[in-house]
Amino acid sequence: MSTPEPGLLVALVGNPNTGKSTLFNALTGLRQRVGNYPGVTVARKSGTCDLGDGQKVELVDLPGLYSLAAASPDEQVVIDALSGNIAGDRRPDAVVLVVDSTNLLRNLFLASQVAELGRPVVIVLNQADVAKEQGLRIDTELLSRRLGGVPVVMSSAWKGEGILDVRRAIASAVAQQTPMKRVAWPTNIAAALTEVANVAATDTGKVVTEADAQRLLFDTNPSTADRLGWTVAQREKTLRSARDRVRNSGYNPMAAEPLVHYAHLRIVLEGVVTEGAGKAGRSAAVDRLLLHRVLGPVLFLGIMLGFFGSVFWLAKFPMEWIQFGVDALKGVVAPQLDAYPMLQSLLADGIIGGVGAFLVFLPQILILFLFIGILEDSGYMARAAFIMDRLFSWCGLNGKSFVPLLSGFACAIPSLLSTRTIEDPKARLATAFVVPFMSCSARFPVYALMCAAFIGPLYGPGWQSVVMIGMHCVGLFFAVPTAFVLTRLVLKVKPQPFVLELPRYQMPKPRDVIWRMWQNAAEFVSKAGTVIFAITIIVWALSYFPRDPSVAERIKVANPSATEEVLKAKVQATYVEQSYMGRFGKAVQPIFDPLGFDWKITVGVLASFPAREVIVSTLGVTYSVGEGAEADSQHLRKAMQDAKWSEGPRAGTPIFSLAAVLALMVFFALCSQCGPTIATLAQETGGWKWAAGSFVYMTALAWLAGTAVYQVVIRLS
């Protein structure tokens, strides 16, 4: 990729869910994440855009926003970027305003505000295909003339149409530097703006632009004043006097800006859009069914049941093929190293056993993200937000909390970043605190292993889906009262109405869905080849050493009639019990005894605190080492099904009883076992206090809930 010319920086701005990131990807050839719901982009992303004539510019994709009156941190990113207030960034040389072609009036309000910045502007009327489908005809030439000659082009970034026109328009805007026609402020408001700009400039000694003056006069948010260093004491009197002046001219100072802009835009748009016969209202008809008060939640539950059922059903054979490959590899490698038992155990039991046990879940992860991609891109996820709103509003969460909580089902880290879309800092804090309760995809292999090994064989495949949904609801079940206590009693968050723009339904684009599947699969495999691989080696070493050579002799003497095979198994089991891991696990096991965990599960649970999926490879190693390298057909599920308590009051009974399996899954559903999540929570809440609180609270809750489940189920069964 060639370096862009210095000084040429172009920003991509627009309302949420207008296709900015899709256009950004089409212009730069990058693969920035896109989604058919608002709030997908929460931080600036940049790439190089070729303008078609060899000229290159740096293009910056910014989060979506409705107005320049920044209320939330992601909106503040846009204001900072447009005013050149981001570290290492210049002020953009041109701004590309991405507008939804089907809703010009509302979308152009932001464009009209951006015009006040005085930068050259390109208007891209995106989603032109949908406008055409709805029978809308837009006179782009007339609109361009009315907006002062700025380039106006139509595109359908999703279909890759009109991209060349956008490149040419950016080149033209950069070359001609044509600013967009500004709104004509009524005399009194213009005078008030001049007064604010002059006093602020005098008080701070800084250049105060007209755009700055508008933000100071019209917004209650002090971010512009803070940036300029205009103190409360300095600005209070001036702003009161200026707002009184606006009020005296018949405008409410807080509503004057949209009123004047919309009046201006109504004149600009007169005759620009012609409505013909189209297929409008299809989304509305589907929504009447999917958002029905009774049918909506029932259909939602049905979709989720089908979703998890299909994950098991479709992944069954690919998982068996991978397991077969892992066993075959172990079968080939182990005999080659018969002369080197230590190296043989490291490769066969440690690396192949541990990493293999983890990799087996790749097909389920692929299918999981295939379904998530389809649900997101079709527009259904935003409807799910609407359905769940009643629950969220009851527990005092802001309606905007849904997007972070929803994406928390994939991974908590981007979800914590997306809490920046929430304006109220207290609501943002409460949402960030409960995001780790959402059942992320790292928990999935743990549930899948337990369901496939115990729930499916015992109760049938249907119950696998039910337990899977149940485990995904456990986090939600505890998140709701936690949020209730936090928002109502601790933080005292003011309730806010839920405003979510429902995206239109669309056919998911196979390229985007497959790309997302590929990204997640690559991340999963890369994790298996790096972090899981390294942790597996450490876990193997701790499960293998120390080895007392006299153990074999002592066991042989104590069991004179035992066959060679039985003796070998007893020696292996004794070695593992006497290893560092065995000793440590046995020392800590009493803490987890009320949950029905033996020392091997305890070791798995403790090893999973940096990353929860480590339990699968840890169990893979501890059970492999215990069985010996030659037990290549004994894959993890079978070894766990056969495991029995060797001592104590439960001696001879299965370790993985229904009670222990459910307790383990509930523990994993609630426990705070992800180092990067805790670090991100600390970063997003501005300190370690809330992150440490979340860790202690979730871990204690997981232990209590796991204990309760084990004790209740064991008594009932």
Partner 1 sequence: MNLEAVIVGAIVGVAAGWLIRRWAAAARRRKEGGCAGDCGCSTKLKPKR
What residues make contact with partner 1 under the rule CB under 8 A? Answer: 43, 45, 76-77, 80, 85-88, 227, 340, 342-343, 346, 413, 417, 523, 530-531, 533-535, 537-538, 541, 675-676, 679-680, 682-684
Residue 595, amino acid: L
Neighbours of 511 (CB within 10 A): 10
CB of 111 to partner 1, least distance (A): 23
Strands (E), 595-634: none
- In the complex, the smallest distance separating the C-beta of residue 414 from partner 1, rounded to whole angstroms, is 8
| Cβ 80 to partner 1 shortest distance, Å | 5
Q: Hunting for tokens 């295909």 — which residue is that?
A: 129
- Write phi, then psi, for 268 (nearest 5 degrees): -60, -40
Cβ pair 36, 378 in contact under 8 A: yes
Nearest approach, Cβ of 692 to partner 1 (angstroms)? Answer: 15
Between the alpha carbon of residue 674 and those of residues 238, 405, 412, 433, 540, the distances in Å are: 50, 17, 9, 14, 21
Nearest-10 Cα torsion for 200, 205, 208, 214: -20
Question: Of the two residues 354 and 363, which places its CB atom closer to partner 1 in the complex?
Answer: 354
Q: Which residues lie across from 161 on neighbouring strands?
A: 156
* Cβ proximity to partner 1, 3 vs 187, nearer residue: 3
Q: Pick the closer one to partner 1 by CB: 176 or 519.
A: 519
Structure-token match 């192949």, residue found: 352
Between 538 and 704, CB nearer to partner 1: 538
In the complex with partner 1, the residue whose CB is nearer, 167 or 516, is: 516
Indicate the residue among 374 and 537 with the shorter CB distance to partner 1.
Answer: 537
What are the helix and strand counts (H, E) for the chain? 34, 8
Strand order in the sheet with 94-100: 45-50, 56-61, 9-14, 94-100, 121-126, 152-154
Rounded to whole angstroms, the Cα distance separating 150 from 176 reads 9
Instruction: Collect all residues with Cβ–Cβ distance below 8 Å to 501 and sequence separation of at least 6.
Output: 16, 17, 38
Helix axes 564-578, 614-627, angle to 10 degrees: 140
Least separation in angstroms between CB 236 and partner 1: 22
Give me the DSSP letters along 149-187. S--EEE-BTTTTBSHHHHHHHHHHHHHH-PBPPPP---H
Looking at residue 4, its amino acid is: P
- The least distance separating partner 1 from the CB of residue 528, rounded to whole angstroms, comes to 14
Kindly state the smallest distance separating residue 329's Cβ from partner 1, in Å: 18
Q: How far is the CB of 242 from partner 1 (least distance, A)?
A: 26
Which pair of structure tokens corresponds to residue 129?
A: 């295909």
Q: Is 58 in a helix, a strand, or coil?
A: strand
**Distance, CA of 537 to CA of 559 (rounded, Å):** 33
Task: Write the CA distances from 124 to 151, 152, 568, integer angstroms.
Answer: 8, 6, 73
In angstroms, what is the minimal distance from the CB of 70 to partner 1?
A: 11
Q: Please, which residue, 149 or 676, has the CB nearer to partner 1?
A: 676
Cβ proximity to partner 1: between 49 and 346 the closer is 346
> What is the nearest approach in angstroms of partner 1 to the Cβ of residue 531?
7
In the bound state with partner 1, the residue whose beta carbon lies nearer, of 398 and 536, is 536
- In angstroms, what is the minimal distance from the CB of 85 to partner 1? 6
Query: Nearer to partner 1 by C-beta: 362 or 535?
Result: 535
Least separation in angstroms between residue 683's CB and partner 1 is 4
Rounded Cα–Cα distance for residues 619 and 355 (Å): 11
CB closer to partner 1, 354 vs 396: 354
Closest separation between CB of residue 555 and partner 1, Å?
23
User: 263: which strand partners?
Assistant: none
Q: How far is the CB of 59 from partner 1 (least distance, A)?
A: 16
Supply the minimum distance, in Å, between the C-beta of residue 339 and partner 1.
9
Which residue, 468 or 682, is less far from partner 1 as judged by CB?
682
How far is 114 from 105, CA to CA, in rounded Å? 15
Q: Which residues of 136-169 are buried (b: 16+ CB within 10 A; e: fewer)?
A: bebebebbbebbeebbbbbbbbbeeebbebbbbb
Beta strands in 442-512 (DSSP E): none
Q: Which is nearer to partner 1, 324 or 340 (CB)?
A: 340
Strand, coil or helix: what is 672? coil
Minimal CA–CA distance to 407: which of 33, 22, 27, 25? 33
Closest C-alpha among 440, 376, 435, 426 to residue 398 = 426
CA distance 214 to 76: 16
> Which of residues 351 and 493 has its CB atom nearest to partner 1 in the complex?
351
Nearer to partner 1, 317 or 545 (CB): 545
Classified as helix, coil or strand, 569 is helix
